[in-house]
Amino acid sequence: MQHYTYRMPAEWAQHDATWLSWPHKEASWPGKFEPVPTVFARMAACLSRYEEVHINVLDKAMEDAARELIRAHEQQGARMEAVHFHRIPTDDAWCRDHGPNFVAGLDQAGNIVEKVVMDWEYNAWGGKYTPYDQDNAVPSHVAELRGCRLTRPGMVLEGGAIDVNGQGLLLTTEACLLNPNRNPSMSRADIEAALGKYLGIQKVIWLKDGIIGDDTDGHVDDMARFVDEKTVVIAVEENADDPNYLPLQENLGLLESATDQSGRPLEVVRLPMPDPVYFDGERLPASYANFYIANRQVLVPTYRCANDAVALDTLQQCFPDREIVGIDCTDLVWGLGAIHCVTHEEPTIP
């Protein structure tokens, strides 16, 4: 059936599953890879309590190792029967950016008729890391596995570069989506038109720069996220001497003056930034905004500092009906990403 429109659900909509790509590229965590699979196992174990977890692995040895790490959490509620492994090859572990973007396909009357995988092009954040051809092929493998139709917009777009409220409003940054290393032949208007056509977006809120240490050219999921249809949380740095202070203040101002798809002001909630996290002399993109909204939980990165508790409490107020689960990402963020960067929701679409 020919569809006339698509709609991307918000992350808090009911999930059929969460997708992960198991970590194996040691060069992404140079000198500190060893603890990373354990962090993935903790995430998978938590998620398995309330939804299926589908994990891309290279081979049986990787599957066996991952299964053992996740099974260690059974006494804390992990359900191994909800964890599924697939031999889908990957170059790296950042499933948010290379994974399947599930959307609803709508008929002319606006009725949902099927689940569609939107297969955006992936070029490893402007060709920064090679190879990336296996990552770019992940959505097509998943679509075949799940029996979903595949649509290829022909535009480079990473999942972490956008956030939606499920009602036609999208958050992104100029630093990322307008970067010529993504879609050099597309104007801002062209990009907005593509987002409208393939995700059902009626309005785009353009923020400016991302946070320090982010090698994605400013992914929005490291600083500003929808928590419901009308509310956005944004990371704010209180230390005026910190290099994140001014960019985040500018983005805060943009959100406080922004309106939703119907012209109504947004509710804006401030989320603290953690103390700066360094490894091997490098400032890392540590942020509490890189949380993941699961069916009955919100997995939140923590960084062994006092603001962990403040961030967890702030998000608990945003999600009163979900369990807030802090997961130590001090080691994970050495790969320049945290929980949201490695997860991808598969929404329940009739």
Q: Given the DSSP bridges, would you call strands 278-279 and 282-283 parallel, antiparallel or unpaired? A: antiparallel
| 341 classed as catalytic | yes
Q: Using CA atoms, how far apart are residues 76 and 202, in angstroms rounded to an integer?
A: 42
Cβ burial of 198 (10 Å; 0-12, 13-18, 19+) is buried
Q: Using CA atoms, how far apart are residues 253 and 229, in angstroms rounded to an integer?
A: 19
N- to C-terminal Cα distance for the chain? 15
The conformational region for residue 281 under phi > 0 = left, psi -120 to 50 = alpha, else beta, is left
The conformational region for residue 206 under phi > 0 = left, psi -120 to 50 = alpha, else beta, is beta
Cis peptide before 131 (omega within 30 of 0): yes
* Annotated catalytic residue, options 95, 176, 318, 341: 341
The gap from C-alpha 96 to its chain's centroid, in whole angstroms, comes to: 4
Cβ neighbors of 75 (< 8 A, separation 6 or more) are none
Residue 214: HSE in the Cβ half-sphere, 13 Å Cα cutoff: 25
Crossing angle between the packed helical segments 60-71 and 36-48, to the nearest 10 degrees:
70
Q: Using CA atoms, how far apart are residues 268 and 251, in angstroms rounded to an integer?
A: 11
**What is the layout of strands, in order, in the sheet containing 169-173?**
163-164, 169-173, 203-207
Q: Which two tokens stand for residue 330?
A: 């001090």
**Residues with a known catalytic role:** 341
